[in-house]
Amino acid sequence: MNRRIALRHLALISGGLALIPSCDFSSDDILAAYENLKVTASQKQLLGDISNTIIPAGELKGALELEVPDFILVMVNDCMTSDNQVLFSTGLAAFSEYAKNTSGKKYDNLSSKEKEDLIQQGIDLKPAETPEGEKERAISYFLNTTKRLTMQGYMASEYIQTEIIPYSLIPGPYNGAALISETQKPRING
């Protein structure tokens, strides 16, 4: 083996070994798609669980199947002021602790009825003017915003607009003698 090649390989290996301790593989990475929000993958999953509790899957697809959490994060990232983004992120980060303190269990371990009750309690919070009250205000703002954007994203999804409530840009012909039956799909005209 050529001595220069061996020294080059040795230098590359030792340089790589020197960089490994500075790499932190244990932390939860921040998602790069939302530059104004500091959202991790576990927080996005929690947001998906909350939106799926608000609109669960049943006869129709649920909010999680229609990727409503992505819609929520894009709307908060692109359309809200920086103060509201900070309040939303703070509420999202504090919700896990709030769920554990209120119910005694992690949010994932709760039944669907307990999840609904917990979300309703969080929406109805009346925060005081204390540091703990600021956290409650952030949680209440986060849950109210999540509920509103979940409904908006769900109703504006392609699945709802094409298969459930067909959208017609131009109204159809008027027929005053037609009976409305329960089997007929409603038409939403622009």
CB 94 within 8 A of CB 125: no
Mean pLDDT of 36-64: 92
Q: Pick the most confident of 4-18, 21-35, 99-113.
A: 99-113
Helix orientation angle between 41-54 and 112-123, rounded to the nearest 10 degrees: 100
- Binning pLDDT at 50, 70 and 90, where does residue 99 land? very high
In a domain, 149, yes or no: yes
Whole-number pLDDT of residue 190:
45
In a domain, 183, yes or no: no
In a domain, 155, yes or no: yes
* Average pLDDT of the residues of the chain: 84
Phi-psi region of 104 (alpha: psi -120 to 50; beta: other; left: phi over 0): left
Overall domain count for the chain? 1
In a domain, 179, yes or no: no
Name residue 188's beta-bridge partners.
167
Name residue 167's beta-bridge partners.
188
Nearest C-alpha neighbor of 107 from the set 116, 96, 117, 120: 96
Phi, psi of 16 (to 5 degrees): -65, -40
Full residue range of the structural domain in which residue 89 is found? 25-165
Q: Indicate the range of 1-5, 57-61, 172-176 predicted with least confidence.
A: 172-176
Whole-number pLDDT of residue 139:
94
This prediction has a pTM of 0.74
Whole-number pLDDT of residue 1:
62
Whole-number pLDDT of residue 110:
93
In a domain, 18, yes or no: no
In a domain, 60, yes or no: yes
In a domain, 157, yes or no: yes
In a domain, 9, yes or no: no
Whole-number pLDDT of residue 184:
60
Please tell me which residue, 2 or 152, carries the higher pLDDT value.
Answer: 152
Mean pLDDT of 33-50: 87
Whole-number pLDDT of residue 39:
87
- Which pair of structure tokens corresponds to residue 128? 């005081």
Mean pLDDT of 65-74: 93
Interval 9-28: pLDDT, tens: 877 787 766 666 665 554 55
